[in-house]
Amino acid sequence: MGPIEERIVKKIEEAFSPERLAVINESHLHAGHQGGSVDGSGETHFRVRVISEKFAGLGRVDRHRALNELLAAEIADGVHALALEPSAPGENVRW
């Protein structure tokens, strides 16, 4: 786990106390794409799957907004893409 991924995990754990959390570095899938490295190394593309009670009663846009605001420093530091999958407990998830 790289330093940016560690920061993402720590921030989400502290802010949302998730029941379940998966932060997946997908940078290797974007080799040569804009925002990524030529060989796909690095920490530029992430998928964030999180289940938290704090998402209960929030719509999809508000959930995404909360995560994007929390991770604004990581985005500014070079994270090019975040695929966000926030859910509340009891909601159907694909993972």
pTM score of the predicted model: 0.86
pLDDT (tens place) for every residue of the chain, 95 residues total: 899 999 999 999 999 999 999 999 998 775 555 554 444 457 888 999 999 999 999 999 999 999 999 999 999 988 988 999 999 999 999 88
Q: How many CB atoms lie within 10 A of CB 86?
A: 23
Q: Which CATH architecture has domain 3-87?
A: 2-Layer Sandwich (3.30)
Q: How many CB atoms lie within 10 A of CB 58?
A: 15
Domain limits of the chain?
3-87
Write down the pLDDT at residue 40: 46
DSSP state of 28: G
